[in-house]
Structures are given as structure tokens and as C-alpha cells.
Structure 1
């Protein structure tokens, strides 16, 4: 009797253990959970677009700044001088174009009259040349006097000179017009220089493109900064994420929009809701194979047996606590697939 009771108890315990094991397996499959996770936010490196010495820096390291707030101001003297120089060049060129245009207008008027007289001058020149050709042979025969021949030669030379003068006036007018065109082209170039100078002057003030926290600030007033060289990092605190590494066997029921619940190691008493934003489609393999630059490296903890690879799942937190969330903070994530 006692043996039968022990056997019954053993059977009950075995069945209970199997039920508990099945529940655990079901829960793991239904609600994947991982503590291989960390908090994340988008960041940018704040770099000036112009070089110069910092005159003003109203922010400090780890400070929260609002969108469009002044981060630092570079000495604008060089860029103000460049703008004034370009504006002075433009004013001088405009004056030169104005004077040249007046000259062109006068030459155009003269050229217009000259063109109207060119046909008459050509006819006069032809008539004078014909008269000279007709009288010159008659001089030796005594049918024309030397005075008449000299007058014909003078008339021919005068007609040719007048024709050449009128043709020269027309060419000068055409050359003057092309000269004005060249000056107008120079004006467009100087106007572009003015636009660049204004843009450079605007870039001496560096402002926050979004609300965030200053990080890794190691410069101060008086520091010379170069265009394109990072000065500090700005963390976008308007959107927070948790990057959670889940086994590949747990990804089949996970998709964008899958509800999630996360909490941070710094305060496990607070939980935060979220949704899956995206799932990584590539990680850096650590067991051989091709190496693809730029992919996240997720190491396997056990290297003497084949274990499932883990892939990062990006979870967007809907109600983050700005005082708890920090980039890189340890986190735990539980997904709730539909």
C-alpha cells in the first residue's frame, strides 16, 4: 500500500513537472525575452561648416538643449569682410556696366546712322573710282587735264576713307555690345560669391537641429575649429529605442509593430511599453565566412556547440523616462507576438 502511494506521488510529480516544463516552453515561445539589450538613441556629430575660432559657447557637457538653440558661434569677422569685399566688387562692376552701356548706346546710335550711310558711301566710292579710271587714260591723249585727274583721285580717296570710317563705326558698336555681355557675365559670378559669403556668415552660428543632450564636449571659448571636424556629439532625446538581441528561432512570430515591454537595469521597478520598429537582416559572422563591413557584431556566448545566432530587434519606446534612458544602458525586453 505504501509503495503504491509512493508510486502515485512520483507519477503526479512527474506529470506536474512536465506540465510546468510545457508552460515554460510555451511562454518562451509565445513571449520571447532577452536581457541582451541596451538603450539607444540617434546621434549626430556636431561639426561646423566653416573654420574659425569659437567666440561663444552657451552649452555645457551633458546639457539638454532645445531645437534651434545656439550651440556655439564662430568669429564672423573673416566672413563679414569677405561679404563686404564681394559687395564692393559688385557695386564697382555695376558702375562700370552703366558707363559702358552709355558708351554702347552712343556707338549704337552712331553705327545706326553709319549703316544707313554705308550704301550711299559705297555708291559714291564706286562712282569716284569709275571716274578716275575713265579720266586717267585721257590725260596722255590730251582729252583731260591734270587738274581734272587730280580732282578725281582726291574724290576717290575721300569716298574710300568715308566708307572705311562708317564700316569701322559699325564694328566698334558690335565690339562694345560683346564687352557689355562679358561684364554682365562677371556680375553673375560676383553675385554667386555674395551668396556664398552670406551662407558662410550664417554658418558661423551652429544651432541644434533637434532637441537633445550634448555629449563628449571637450572644447571651450577660444578653440579653433575646422570645417567638417567634429566638436561634440548630440543625442536625439525625442525618440528612444531598445536594441534587443533575440535568437533566430524566436523571430518567426516577430514583425514590425509587435508590442513589447522593456525595463532598464538602473531601475527594474519601472516598465515601459514599446513596439518593434524593425528587425535586422544581417549580423557580422564570428565563425568564419565573408566579413561585411558595417554590420552589427553579435557574439555567441557558447563556442563549443552550435547555438542559434542572435539578431538585433529595434524596439521603439513609447513612454521613455528622460531621466533613466541613456545610450548604452543595459535593458531587458519581452515581446508579445500576436
Structure 2
């Protein structure tokens, strides 16, 4: 009797244990389907290569490798003397040109005055010639009547011819005076060129001082003061620490409920006790398939873990982390991400 009772208890315990295992399995499957989770994730942040806009020798390197900097902090400075010299030369050229323009303008003003005086002389000569011609016309009919002598008529004719000649000479002088008027247009155009050179020299002098465009961390610094920096060669890399992301490679079968704005929880393998909240920033739309085929260049390549079984492809999901710990977040740090599609904070951001 006792053995029979113990046997029933064992069977009951085994059954309950089996039911519990099934329930746990169902719960795990439901949890995986409703809240996808992956440990194929890593920390990411935007970076820039710090490249000077001009070439020159580094005279002041204000940072060291892996140093944190604030926006506007001095990173390094190139020797400013060549750029200052170019600026001084351009300014001197402008001053000299301004003096030349002033003197030339005075000469132009004198030429304009001479042309105006010549035109006034033409008007006087024209009036005198008109008067002499009128006098001649009035005297010619009076000669036959004896009112005017032949000598008076000759003198009137000579005066008319003389004033006509003076008018022609005055008109010629007026044309010459007008043609002699030069101007300062060419010098003004040259002045605009020098002003552009000053603007370029001023900008190059500003470029000699390189400051941080954002809060960040200096990495890959392998140079020192005295090194010649080229305008086409990075001096170091700067990590943008104003935004930290976790790139989680999620199976394609789990992407249906993931949208921009989906809430996520992440933790880093360097400190599993501390969890961080985040939101999906974007969902990847392309990866390089490992089994070949024609693909677009520049797409992320995610390796499949099993080659002899058809497994789901993984796509990168970019999570923007809220309030990241600056002491823990480093690019490439391994992470674990859990998504909560049912509790997206802002469904208007779904896309």
C-alpha cells in the first residue's frame, strides 16, 4: 500500500514538473515573440575624422589620446604665421590700391573739368561764328545800295571765316578732352580681387585654429607638436558623445512589430547590473547576404551562425539610448537589447 501511494506521488510530482516545464516553455516562447531579445548587439556612436582645412605645422596640440572635450574646446593649432603674413600682404595691397584709386580719381575729375571747359568754349565759339555769319548776311545786300563799303564787307567776310575756324578748333578740342577722360573701373575691379584675397586669408587664419564641433572623445591620436598636418589627412578621430546608440542585430522574423519609437531596454556586458532605456531610431533595410549574389556596396554584413541550416537573416536595429553612462559607453562594447513593441511611447513616430 505504501509503495503504491509513493508511486502515485512520484507520478503526480513528475506530471506537475512536466506541466511546469511546458508552461515555462510557453511563457518563454510568448516572451520571445512579444518582446524580442538579442545579445548580438554593440555600442555605437557617430564619429568624424578631424582634418584641418589648411596645411601647416602643428605648434599647439591641446589634447591627448582618449581625452574628453567640450564643444568649442581647442583641439590643435597650426603655425599661424604664414596665414597672418598672407593677410598682411593682402591688406597692404588694398591700402596701396585705395591710394592709387584716390589719386586716379583726382586726375579723372580734372579731365572731366577740362572736358566741361572745352564744351563751354565750343558754345562760345559757336555763338561768335553765328553772330559773324548773321552780320555778313545782313551786310551783303547793303553793298549795292551804297550803305556799306566793300572794305566793311570784306572784314565781315573775314570775321565769319575766322569764327567758323575757331568753332571747328574748339569742337576738336572738346572731343579730345572727352576722349581723354579715363576712369577707375579697372582699379575698382582690381580692388574687388584684393578684397576677396583678404577674405580668403582671414578664413585660412581662422582655419589654423581647430576647435571641437561637439562634446566628444579624442581617439586614434598618433601625432604630436611639430608634425606637419596636411589638409587631406586626418589628425585623429573624434567620437560624438552627445548621442549613444546600440546596434542590435535582430532576426527578420522578429521585425514585424519593431518600428521607429519602439521602446527598448539595453545593458552592457561590461556591467550587466545597470540597465538603460532607449527608443528605436531606425530599422535597417539592407544587409549583405553571406551566400553571395549581387548586392549594393556599403551595406552592413551580418554573419549567419549556421551555414548548413537555413536560418533567419539578421538586420541591424539602431537604438538611441537615453541618459547613457559616459563611463560605460564605448564604441564596440557588447550589449544585450530587449524590445517592447507593446509599449511604444509615441505611436506617431511609427514608420
d(CA) in 1 for partners of 2:23 and 2:43? 36
| Distance verdict in 2 for CA 1:125–1:73, change over 3 Å | farther
Whether 1:166 and 2:166 are equivalent positions in the alignment is no
Q: Which residue does 2:323 correspond to in 1? A: 319
**Any unmatched runs of 5+ in structure 2?**
137-149, 343-351
Residue among 176, 187, 193 paired with 1:189: 193
Cα deviation digits, residues 277-310 of structure 1 (max 9, x gap): 1111111222222221121111111122221111
Cα deviation digits, residues 240-260 of structure 1 (max 9, x gap): 111000001111111112111
Deviation at 1:270, TM superposition (A): 1.5
Cα deviation digits, residues 60-117 of structure 1 (max 9, x gap): 0001111111000100110001001000110011001101111111111221222343
The count of corresponding residues between Structure 1 and Structure 2 is: 320
TM-score by length of structure 2 reads 0.82
SS of the residue 1:289 aligns to: coil
- Identify the range of structure 1 (103-112 vs 194-203) with the bigger mean alpha-carbon deviation: 103-112
Are the aligned partners of 2:129 and 2:160 in contact in 1 as well (CA < 8 Å)?
no
**Any unmatched runs of 5+ in structure 1?**
132-142
d(CA) in 1 for partners of 2:127 and 2:172? 13
Q: Which residue does 1:331 correspond to in 2? A: 335
| Distance verdict in 2 for CA 1:44–1:76, change over 3 Å | same
| Distance verdict in 2 for CA 1:90–1:125, change over 3 Å | farther
Residue among 76, 92, 95 paired with 1:91: 95
Residue among 68, 71, 77 paired with 1:67: 71
Q: Which residue does 1:135 correspond to in 2? A: none
Computed over aligned residues only, the root mean square deviation of the Cα atoms, in angstroms, reads 2.7
Are the aligned partners of 1:115 and 1:170 in contact in 2 as well (CA < 8 Å)?
no
Q: Which residue does 1:138 correspond to in 2? A: none
Q: Which residue does 2:22 correspond to in 1? A: 18
Are the aligned partners of 1:283 and 1:296 in contact in 2 as well (CA < 8 Å)?
yes
